[in-house]
Structure 1
């Protein structure tokens, strides 16, 4: 029986060695090496979500017409709720000891899994592009404070390129090493950068125009629902199909509930704080809503020395998110079929995102429109996959390690010509249904408007709910996980 040649061999150094370059690809982690605990994942998700990207999400909530209290409520429901999905997917990682999309072969078939894997890779590369572009904007803004240069990326292209290069180099240095190093970096970064963020947030709060915030009108129920959907799509849903990537090292004794709480609370706490602050800044200063650089507000609101400190922290916070994303993207690239070791897959991924981020910074206009459009588009296929994968988990308590790596007709997950049509068909149907309610508008002119966009569902931004529920229900009706697949 041939095995998937896209995986690398066993670790050349002990799994827990801090300086070891992780040699494992997508092959399941041996039970003897699964010694992790949920608290480790809490630090991972907390550090990954200290990111300054929460600020523009908060600004977008105010732009939708929500009051500050509504924005805080929306941030809490959207963040904690969506990362609970990440925690649920993590349970599969504990069971199978493999990355999310490798385990997904059991659900969709070794060939049928290509579509969800390709979409996941697009999501990871997209988020890495957003992270890299935002970090470069932070670097440009720091230079504007120190050297009195422009804050526009297009005005200072050399500084923009330098910011991207610096961020990418730092990303590769951490994500290339792998699991053990990431765990250590995320834990200590949570304490260090979390504390600095709290201090700077106090400065920001002291400079908020509270009178303007108090006068901001409240939005209706429809706006609140739309806001929850936007936050969910921009936070946990974007990470949901990577939930098992870090949890594959979790001990079999780890409780399922603890895994859910570690992801939900670990990400939810910092996200609510930063998104709420973004909402405060947006409500107190209308100029923020039209800014091409979301970090201009930091520059203009804080004293120069404090602004520089916060922008440096912002750069580091984006790095904490990005190296985790790049790590997952490397595993997804291998699962997709690229014959390369994980450490080299990381390099390939960052080359793509470096190019994309430079195009975004030096060619595209604006920030908020493309950013919101991006997260809204990708949320539909991702949540459809989540719905199907979670239903599959209900009937599958274990995974056949050999079957996950065997791409031949002898695989336990070959099904019919390598495709589990019940799962793949449900996924495609869910995406198609979601597209009917969708509107794609990164700027002033819509690119696409679905025929059902004007309905209550479409107007309230609930496309992702339709996709997730339809995918899950369709797959459940068709029978869910095949018992003979779990060995």
Structure 2
């Protein structure tokens, strides 16, 4: 990969969140294809497909349609939001300062960082279980405390090495590791397909159209929406003159290809193994469906898939931590992130009796403000063509993005209002008897079918567009700033939307 000394394969990336100068921009849209292909090659996509059949009552043909719409559609949104990265040359949450204001951006940034830490802990503990199972099958080593800690450290060490080296190495690894682990996954998928009860699959009745709508929302929420605030992190080194449409297509198909295959296979498997959709440890559940001699390639594929997803999350989490105001080098931020993940992994594996349910419940609640951020940021991106790079790095009162008191009130108000309304439709629980939080509209059709995120996204986008228009018309400081930016940053021949 060509590029500056700061962004070479095998060299440590020294840039933090500061925007990438035009002279150091390089690469092509295909890199986004491999980025999102790698992030979604994990065998853990199978339970999503199983849920379409077990919980939503869809047949296989409906499940395939839902997989296409949910995965390709949600990652098209990821690609669209990544256009902001090639415009501003900075990570997504750093660019978000221009949207929410220097102080107003703290809320979305903190929520994003906590969410990333949470999912990294899930990845790390699941990968440790996979490695423990691999050592047991291959060498007869039984699980114990020391071996568990070693397995955690192995996964964390691999993640730290890749994420620590940075952008260029990640892009290189994504492409070539996808070939290796993709081949392993294809072998595993072939054997899993052989276990399918085809008679039951083909005789299954179709589910209602409403179930397909809900299923599409479920797949979108479980795949692309979770990555929507990270796309710009990987597009920031791309030249400005790359057409944005190519980023959308590369992202949509890069993630869509593996997700469609895995979700469709999960739907097939659910006919004979309905418990797959609700398995607390899906890696172990899938392993029981394979002949014993297939366990080794399967567990290697599971470990590798989790690693490819995790190093992307950790890289973004490090950038988010710096945006939050922790003044450390990017490599130190990545290391700190891994320390927290290691402590969480030790606690959840060795101390906590049941962590998946409560922890995922907590992360479900964090998804509401993240979805609201996506709506606000998307509207701002449609109205904006560039970012003031100096202002992005200036967190003082002299910053162009200070607005009023450090807040862009149209964006902050829309974000907060969408969170409140989204929570009305949200229920967070580990079981029917262990309900952590239940909004007053959680039992409505929208809430009961998990579509509260759609309401959150739509309201955040619509309210922000309205408040921006009102601010522009009222001549407020933020409105005047937005109007000035639109007037002075119209697209040129050099930058294609």
The two structures have a TM-score, normalised by structure 2, of 0.90
Is 1:264 aligned with 2:255?
no
Is 1:69 aligned with 2:61?
yes
Is 1:483 aligned with 2:475?
no
Cα separation, partners in 2 of 1:340 and 1:16, compared to 1, 3 Å: closer
Alpha-carbon offset, residue 349 of structure 1: 0.7
Match of 1:195 in 2: 183
Match of 2:18 in 1: 27
Name the stretch that deviates more: 250-259 or 437-446: 437-446
Is 1:127 aligned with 2:119?
yes
For residues 404-415 of structure 1, what are the structure 2 equivalents within 5 Å?
404-415=392-403
Residues 59 and 204 in structure 2, CA contact (< 8 A), matched pair in contact too: yes
Residues 79 and 264 in structure 1, CA contact (< 8 A), matched pair in contact too: yes
Q: Structure 2 residue aligned with 1:382, among 340, 358, 370?
A: 370
Q: Structure 2 residue aligned with 1:81, among 60, 73, 82?
A: 73
SS in 1 for 2:430: coil
Alpha-carbon offset, residue 290 of structure 1: 5.3
Name the stretch that deviates more: 255-264 or 347-356: 347-356
Residues 47 and 276 in structure 2, CA contact (< 8 A), matched pair in contact too: no
Is 1:52 aligned with 2:40?
no
Residues 31 and 171 in structure 2, CA contact (< 8 A), matched pair in contact too: yes
Match of 2:99 in 1: 107
Is 1:18 aligned with 2:9?
yes
SS in 2 for 1:407: coil
Alpha-carbon offset, residue 257 of structure 1: 0.5
SS in 2 for 1:276: helix
1:36-74 Cα distance to aligned partner (Å, 9 max, x none): 210111111111110122122223333313333332222
Cα separation, partners in 2 of 1:88 and 1:462, compared to 1, 3 Å: same
Match of 1:472 in 2: 461
Residues 4 and 24 in structure 2, CA contact (< 8 A), matched pair in contact too: no
Is 1:244 aligned with 2:235?
no
Match of 1:451 in 2: 440
Match of 2:473 in 1: none
Match of 2:84 in 1: 92
Cα separation, partners in 2 of 1:221 and 1:140, compared to 1, 3 Å: farther
Q: Distance in 1 between matches of 2:267 and 2:82?
A: 31
Match of 2:495 in 1: none
Residues 276 and 286 in structure 2, CA contact (< 8 A), matched pair in contact too: no
For residues 359-378 of structure 1, what are the structure 2 equivalents within 5 Å?
359-362=347-350, 363-365=352-354, 367=356, 369=357, 373=361, 376-378=364-366
Match of 1:357 in 2: 345
Residues 395 and 483 in structure 1, CA contact (< 8 A), matched pair in contact too: no
Cα separation, partners in 2 of 1:197 and 1:266, compared to 1, 3 Å: same
Alpha-carbon offset, residue 165 of structure 1: 1.4
Residues 34 and 249 in structure 1, CA contact (< 8 A), matched pair in contact too: yes
Q: Distance in 1 between matches of 2:281 and 2:368?
A: 27
Unaligned 5+ segments in structure 2 are 470-478, 489-497
Name the stretch that deviates more: 49-58 or 314-323: 49-58
Cα separation, partners in 2 of 1:393 and 1:290, compared to 1, 3 Å: closer
Cα separation, partners in 2 of 1:75 and 1:231, compared to 1, 3 Å: same
Q: Distance in 2 between matches of 1:221 and 1:148?
A: 49
Alpha-carbon offset, residue 226 of structure 1: 2.6
Alpha-carbon offset, residue 30 of structure 1: 0.5
Q: Distance in 2 between matches of 1:438 and 1:265?
A: 31
Q: Structure 2 residue aligned with 1:433, among 411, 416, 421?
A: 421
Alpha-carbon offset, residue 144 of structure 1: 3.6
Is 1:341 aligned with 2:324?
no
Q: Distance in 1 between matches of 2:450 and 2:166?
A: 37
Q: Distance in 2 between matches of 1:17 and 1:430?
A: 41
Is 1:38 aligned with 2:29?
yes
Q: Alignment length, in residue pairs? A: 471
Name the stretch that deviates more: 384-393 or 370-379: 370-379
